Every structure is written in C-alpha cells, then in structure tokens.
C-alpha cells in the first residue's frame, strides 16, 4: 500500500489503521502527488489511497497520471464530506478512481476516527485487491436455498418499475447505463447507490445532465412516475408506500442493513411490496452482498432479476452474490444491460418508440 495525503496526522492515522490488519502492509507514504508518482515507480504498491486536495500536485492530477501509467492499479480517493470535495471525488471516479472513503468528521475521538476509517477502507482495499473482505464488513449471507434459473414462462408479463442497486464502481456503471435509456421510458426508476450525504445530490445532478431521463435525489413524498429516476439520498433508506393509485417515496432512518444506509435490500423489498412481481431489478458492480436478500424476496414475488457480469464489474460482490445464489435470470456485461432493460420494458406494452441509446 501507498498512502498519499498532505497531512502528516492523516498519513499516520491511515497507516496505523491499515497495518492493524495482518494482511496489509504500508510500503510507503507521500505528502503530495508528485512524490506519490515517484514512489509508485519505486515501490510498485498493490493499491494507493489518494487525498483529493493536496498542494504541489492534487489528487485529480495525480490520478490522471496514474491512470496513464498504471491503468489497473486500485486507487481509493480520500475525501472530506464537503460539497467541494464531493465534486472532486465524483470527478475522480469519472477519471477512473476505483472507490473512495470519507474522512471522519465530528466523531469525538481519535479512536472513533480510526474505527470509521478502518470500517470503510480495509474492506474496500481487500475487495479491490482480490482478497477476502474482513469479517466485520461482510454482509449477511445470501439465501441458503438457491433458486434455479427461471424459465422464460415465469417472467412477469409486464414490468412497471425498474430498480437498480450498485456500490463500488457503481457511479461509472450508472453513468454508462442511464444515458442509454430513452426519455419516453414507460416506467419509473429507483436507484440505490452506496454513497454518503452531499455525494448523492451532486451525483443525481450529474446523471440528470447526462441523461434524457429526469434524475433527482429522492425526497420524502416524491411520486414515482414514468421517465423519472429517483436516487436514494445518502444516509436514508428508500422505502415506498402505495396508496390511492400512486406509489410514493418514504425515506427512512431505520438501522443500516449490510452495514449500509441506503441499502439495496430495503429498496428491493419496497418495490416488491408496492409492485409485486411487476419489477425488473438490476444489480450492478459492488462489494459485499447487499441486494441478495432483496432479490430473493423479488424472485419469490415473481419479479425479474438481472446482474452485471464479473468481467465488467469493478468488484463482483453484490452481483456475484445474487448470481451464485441462483437468483439472477441473466448475467450480462455492462454494455449489454441497457438494451436488455429496454427489451424487458417493451414486454406487454403496445409498440412504441423505445430503443436503447435513443437519448440525446
């Protein structure tokens, strides 16, 4: 590991946290990006933690150079929970950063700060480096009894909502998927991407700019409508309430599930409750197993489940958990997902102009 941060206190904290795990060794540290680039050449680390804001050479400039010289090196950005830092972190993800963690704020003690970094960072480093995640960060297991792949006749006759879950690598995957969906999409879309507050609002704005669909951070009471994409806000579960012929968002501060809030499992149970089997669920790249239990609920309700394949996933944790439990109808590479989604949404509807990639 190489730890890059302009603060000596943060470098020491991150180094101490990482080396508390017997499977991780910090080979070196750097105070800015220029030094970091030299040390990457010297030390050949398996992964890098990279501060967003640094003097001399900041995180974005460093990342651009790393991606030119080391395109597959796992890079985890280290960001504060500010709008400026969140914007820069989203820029970094678009430039090829593998993932990010947020620096602890208002945690009350050094020990609490270290615990916050440890809980976020170590599982991500291990997942990105292909190791087994730490037991404390492993989500609840997938259902014990695998389902066989459903025959075509068991698919829902018509789908009335699209539900998408993602985590590590998800921002890039969603930025690839949603702009390929047409403006006249006949169903609403709900999305849970593991992200903290501030990040989700800014991410929704970026997706809205890039997509023909309207995309916004979900608010309590929002009505699900065709062509509208609602993104679960950071630190809130996205639940739903069906009443009076409408389905509305009900945001929740219920305890985290799979160590996550928002959690994909909560959203999947919500769409199953509101729509029964008339659901297409898509699980994109992400570490852990969030979504597997919810996919089980959806399959039992008669819904359709699609997951991203291992080859195009940054981490095949979430989609892999669904697939290996026998809950996925199809496992597809990311470039094929949009066309498949559009094909499913055509089913049971009169012919209309509904083609993947028609957004402009």
Q: Annotated active-site positions, please?
A: 167, 194, 290
Instruction: Please answer whether residues 286 and 256 qualify as being in contact, where contact means their C-beta atoms are separated by less than 8 angstroms.
Output: no
Q: Which residues touch 136 (CB under 8 Å, ≥6 apart)?
A: 119
CA distance 254 to 261: 8
Q: Which residue has the tokens 């602890």?
A: 104
CA distance 340 to 338: 5
The phi and psi torsions of 163 (rounded to 5 degrees) equal -120, 125
DSSP assignment string, 280-322: EEEE-SBSS-TTHHHHHHHHHHT-EEEEE-TTT-S-BSHHHHH
Structure tokens at 125: 């480093």
E strand or H helix at 252, and its extent? strand 246-252
Query: Which of these, 324, 262, 245, 315, lies nearest to 284 by C-alpha position?
Result: 315
DSSP assignment string, 135-154: GGGPPPPPPSSPPPPPPGGG
């Amino acid at each position: 590991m190489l730890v890059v941060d302009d603060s000596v206190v943060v470098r020491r904290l991150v180094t101490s946290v990482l080396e508390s795990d017997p499977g991780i060794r910090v080979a070196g540290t750097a105070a800015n990006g220029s030094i970091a680039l030299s040390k990457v050449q010297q030390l050949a680390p398996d992964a890098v933690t990279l501060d967003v804001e640094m003097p001399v050479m900041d995180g974005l400039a460093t990342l651009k150079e790393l991606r030119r010289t080391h395109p597959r090196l796992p890079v985890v950005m280290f960001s504060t929970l500010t709008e400026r830092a969140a914007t820069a972190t989203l820029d970094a993800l678009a430039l090829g950063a593998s993932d990010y963690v947020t620096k602890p704020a208002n945690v009350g003690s050094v020990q609490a700060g270290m615990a916050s970094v440890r809980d976020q960072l170590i599982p991500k480093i291990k997942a990105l480096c292909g190791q087994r995640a730490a037991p404390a960060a492993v989500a609840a297991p997938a259902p014990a009894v695998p389902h066989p792949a459903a025959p075509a006749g068991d698919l829902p006759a018509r789908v009335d909502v699209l539900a998408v879950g993602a985590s590590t690598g998800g921002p890039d995957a969603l930025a690839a998927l949603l702009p390929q969906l047409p403006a006249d999409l006949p169903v609403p879309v709900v999305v849970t991407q593991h992200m903290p507050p501030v990040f989700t609002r800014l991410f929704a704005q970026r997706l809205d700019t890039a997509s023909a669909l309207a995309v916004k951070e979900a608010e309590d009471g929002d009505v699900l409508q065709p062509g509208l994409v609602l993104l679960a806000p950071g630190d809130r579960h996205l639940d739903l309430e069906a009443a009076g012929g409408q389905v509305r968002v009900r945001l929740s501060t219920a305890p985290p599930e799979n160590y996550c809030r928002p959690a994909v499992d909560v959203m999947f149970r919500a769409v199953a409750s509101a729509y029964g089997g008339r659901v297409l669920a898509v699980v994109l790249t992400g570490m852990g197993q969030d979504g597997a239990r919810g996919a089980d609920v959806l399959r039992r309700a008669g819904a359709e489940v699609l997951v991203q394949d291992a080859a195009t996933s940054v981490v095949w944790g979430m989609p892999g958990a669904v697939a290996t439990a026998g809950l996925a109808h199809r496992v597809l590479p990311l470039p094929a997902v949009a066309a498949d989604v559009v094909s499913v949404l055509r089913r049971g509807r009169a012919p209309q102009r509904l083609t993947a990639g028609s957004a402009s």
